[in-house]
Structure 1
Amino acid sequence: MSVLPWQLPHWARLQASRQRGALAHALLVCGAAGLGKRAFVRHFMQGLLCSEPVDGEPCGHCRSCLLIAAGSHPDLVTLSFGLRKDGVQRSEIVVDQIRELSARLAMNSQFGGWQVAIIDPADAMNAAAANALLKTLEEPAAQTMLILLADAPWRLPQTIRSRCQRVEFQLPAEADALAWLQDQGVRHPAEALAAAAGNPGLARAWAGEGALERRQEVRKDLAALAAGRGQPIEVVKRWLDNEPAQRLWFAAQATADEIRARSSVSAAPLASAMDVEALAHWYDAVNRTREALRGPLRGDLLLLELLAQWR
């Protein structure tokens, strides 16, 4: 079974509801990126559409399973970012996509069983799209399952969230996460887990793509700027060229460590000249900047303002 250890309680609850014939018509599957939400949804969806499931597990060889593997099951719809008329991918899910989806779900299942629609990422729906989805949520067709996947469910309107059964993945206990990382063959699992703030899936991914080295570079950069060495513009160029959002994540972590060190009257690792209150404000500014990188503002100006404040 491909369900991860920290997903087992949610899997068991959904399968118990299925056996009672009490599955909700809409699920909001959410939690931090890296906890395996999308793999969980794929596995659950395949078991739901499978004609010969065993305890919710798909058989892998029936017609439904083969069609899912080929990406051509007629009762499965996946909705994500579409293309604009000029061929450029959109950065949000728009109302016309939701209207087409609703029209599709109003038709009968071609296989006579469940119809499943997955919206991913659901938190990318604009306001008009979210409003259009409300009617489908309020008047669901029989044996229709709507699954909303979201890393940031708070971006969804409350009217949407309140009409879905919430399946939210939490971070596992540190010991369980470390044991899983060791089973996955991750080197330096404790360091990787600390970098990912306790998220084992993220830790495994980052450990294999140089994130731990970037974490050390960020701390060295901040310490150098605090000591008056180097120029913020040079740091900005390097950060922008290589995972700027991740580097800001690590900058926030380093600032939190600096604040904790000040509180315990131990040596502060970054030796910043800012007091604790100023550090806390800068920590907030880092997180705002990381969020702002998703928008239209120039990343170089955002980072330059932030690092100039630090120096």
Structure 2
Amino acid sequence: MTVMPWHAEHWARLQARRQRDAMPHALLLCGPAGLGKRDFMLRFVRGLLCAQPVDGDACGECRSCQLLRAGTHPDVVALSYGVRKDGVQRSEIVVDQIRDLSARLAMASQFGGWQVASIDPADAMNAAAANALLKTLEEPSPSTLLLLVADAPWRLPQTIRSRCQRIEFPLPPREQALAWLQAEHVKDAAVALDAAGGNPGMAKAWSEEGALARRQEVRKDLAALAAGRGEAMEVVRRWLDNEPGQRLWFAAQAAADEAKAQAGAGNGPLSSALDAEALGDWYIAANRARDALRGPLRGDLLLLELLARWR
């Protein structure tokens, strides 16, 4: 498992609390996707349950480590999206799942130590599930640790957030992120980091999956539409067929870059006819469209309206 350097401070603080026997009963690990929250959680759980950890890290050899590696440790529960009766995966975590989890945690640990339960993504709990979790948070069982992982913690009720010890993973300094990307042998590390908005984990994943070429395609599409070339509907079809959310991220980024270029030289690389204020509005609209793609609205209409505003 790769240990990301921006985890070091959080790791040291958590281990210090563990040594003082002052562990909280619930942790909320939050921050943008791509910063290794889940790797951090897994590393901590392994060390917490290990029979002979070294500086908080698991030995990898004891019975507990072997069971964790096999996914059969009796004192570990991992809760995520469930499956409906018709076999379709749910899009949210529901109240019955939380009730089952609470009943499980009310029982004693089989190994006589910690019981650990993770809810990931915790921000996918619906209102009823979040309310059901409150009782467990307010009346925790001894030696029980709840780990909530959320990319969008603001979607959690304040009553949940206030009852958890928060560990927030912000974007690391650019120099540290670049050094890590170069150590991971990521090509065009600086370009990838800029594309990912300073998020090194996302930059690495996007570089490996060819997202940088997709970023250039988006900019070419916007430049062509600004010049009166190309068909908006054809662009919409291509975007919807291949990572539409990511393409909207790149589109918003392109609008921001265009506004900066206009402020400096008076003309941006995309030759947009929109002024700085209109580009700012379009940036907001692109991000809203990206969020709206998760909902019931038709993606083709969302994108068509957005590109019509650009053109």
TM-score, normalised by the number of residues in structure 2: 0.98
1:186 aligns to what?
186
CA deviations 1:231-277 (Å, max 9, x no partner) are 11000011111110000000010000011112223431111111221
What CA distance in whole angstroms lies between the structure 2 residues aligned with 1:86 and 1:296? Answer: 21
What's 2:41 paired with? 41
Say whether residues 1:22 and 2:22 are aligned partners: yes
Checking the alignment, whether the CA contact within 8 Å between 1:121 and 1:150 is kept in structure 2 is yes
CA distance in structure 1 between the partners assigned to 2:54 and 2:175 by the alignment: 31
Runs ≥4 residues deviating over 6 A: none
| Distance in 2 of aligned mates of 1:237 and 1:262 | 30
Corresponding residue number in structure 2 for 1:305: 305
Partner residue in 2 for 1:288: 288
**Paired position in structure 2 for 1:227:** 227
Where structure 1 has 5 or more consecutive residues not aligned to the other structure, the ranges are none
Which residue in 2 is equivalent to 1:94?
A: 94
| Structure 1 match to 2:172 | 172
Q: Partners of 1:269 and 1:129 in 2: how far apart?
A: 48
Structure 1 vs Structure 2: percent identity of aligned residues? Answer: 73
* Residues 2, 43 of structure 1: 8 Å contact kept: no
- Report the Cα distance in structure 2 between the residues aligned to 1:129 and 1:220, rounded to whole angstroms: 45
**Is the deviation greater in 104-113 or in 276-285?**
276-285
Residue equivalent to 1:123: 123
- The 3-state SS of whatever aligns with 1:118 is strand
Which runs of no fewer than 5 residues in structure 2 stay unpaired? Answer: none
Partner SS for 1:172: coil
Q: Residue 287 of structure 1: CA displacement?
A: 0.5
Secondary structure (helix, strand or coil) at the match of 2:288 reads: helix
User: Is 1:63 the equivalent of 2:63?
Assistant: yes
Distance between the aligned counterparts of 1:281 and 1:188, measured in 2?
Answer: 31
Secondary structure of the structure 2 residue equivalent to 1:29 = strand
Is 1:207 aligned to 2:196, yes or no? no
Q: Which amino acid aligns with 1:273?
A: A
Moved more, 122-131 or 264-273: 264-273
* CA RMSD of superposed structures (Å): 0.9
Residue correspondence of structure 1 range 228-243 to structure 2 within 5 A: 228-243=228-243
Q: Give the AA of the match of 1:278.
A: A
Aligned to 2:246: 246
Describe the SS at the equivalent of 2:209.
Answer: coil
- Give the count of matched residue pairs: 311
CA offset at residue 46 of structure 1? Answer: 0.7
Shift of 1:2: 4.0
